[in-house]
Structure 1
Amino acid sequence: MHTDPDILALLALGEPAGSDDDRAHIASCPGCTSTLAAFTGAAAAGRSTASVPALVAPHERVWNQIAAAVGADATPEVSSAERRERGRGVRGRSVRGRSVRGRSVRGRSVRGRRLPVRWLALAAAVVLAAAAGGVTTSFLLRPTDAPGGAPSVTVLARAALTALPDWPGATGDAVVESNGADTSMVISVNAATDRPDAYREVWLLSADLTKLVSLGLLSGDSGTFAIPTDIDMSQYSIVDVSSEPLDGNPAHSSNSIVRGSFDS
């Protein structure tokens, strides 16, 4: 039985929700871990503070599809204050880039205003739908050597991952590959088991450790992660795998398990 979505949403918002059993289940359940990650991403987007273009109201069918997916009313409840705010630009930080220029990876982001649990679920549904669409598109556009053949893959870089002080004996490796249409990183980690209330996250870091990009959650000992097209690998030359607590904070925990630099 999966963890109640309300508990997952509250954890994503940084609330001390759920029991020890709930947190242990989340850590061992890929489905609940994925849902928590989507909620956390939606919460981070809601806390954003850097400039983005003015938002455009989505078509009614978008709300209908999201509502059908989460079993909610498709008509948003808008307060008079929210109506006054519509049409203004939204200032927010890029969740994908998570630029922390001038501050080391050790700094954690400051929590912002909380989002209503219901709309956090709706936003997370958008995140999951977008991710699924991206995976489908990537699969459909991959070139093949021949009809029914496997994609031709070129290895672009490799990194040997070594243990950080708090994780003696941990090892790993990462390989960056391209099939001509997209670029991905295949990573494997051999390390002691995390605490039941923690999960692993994969990052790309700048050489001076002042900028970082999250590629996603590592479920198990290995995984494949898409590298966004706007990421310059010469600027993000370090791969890092961290142990992250289930506290709803999307910033790096400073608890790195393994880390290594890509060759060229």
Structure 2
Amino acid sequence: MEHTDEAALTLMALGDPPSPDVTQHLLACSRCRQELQALRRVAAHMRAPSPTDGDLLEPPADLWDAIADELNLSTPDAERTAAPGTPPFSLRSRDAIAPGRRRRLARFTIGLAACAALLGAAAGSAVTWWATQSTTAAPSAEEGNRLRSLQANSAGYASLSDSDGHRTLEITVKGLPSTAGYFEVWLMDRTHTKLISMGVLGPDGHATLPVPGNVDLREYSEVDVSVQPYNGKPDHSGDSVVRGPYAG
């Protein structure tokens, strides 16, 4: 099962109507429904009214003076030449803009936090890829092409070799999730709708699997590893760990 794109879920959370295909997918996929609900909560928070001044903390009394000094907004000469009875520039400015500054600061802080949360949720796949890159050693040339990680902390590598007409798919997956089932290796086409089961990963996350000579590798150009339950059903579970084109 191909999950709904994170960008599409984000647009739906912001009010865009889903396509009929996405609607059908959400009815069957709890994972995508949960992601959409989380994004909608973030969007609702972004639309919430700004807090009142009473909800905000008063900044230190010398905050504006420190900012003004840093930016050269007031000088002793300017204060000495002010009209008689007029407070110094730093005091006038601080008293005049403090309420507006607090409101703007509150709105900016809340908006920034909400946007960060929204972008973090929408970029789930990118964050997973970055974390995997950071925690997994770089593959050697023998390990093959890096596959796309579909579950946190997982990384896969696959390559195809052809020796005297005997084709072999070699695949290694690191950071496999816990399961009471097993991990099955598939060849699939670019649309991810046509699949051929190749075999299972070993306990160490590695497998070397023969590829029948009558399989058209121009069509079946990608490899997928799925988590399969022991339920006697031969179909793909829809729960993939890694996927992507293999080397070779």
TM-score range, shorter chain: 0.3 to 0.5
TM-score, scaled to structure 1? 0.38
TM-score, normalising length from structure 2?
Answer: 0.41
CA radius of gyration, larger in? 2
Higher RCO (CA < 8 A, seq sep 6+) = 1
More helix by share: 2
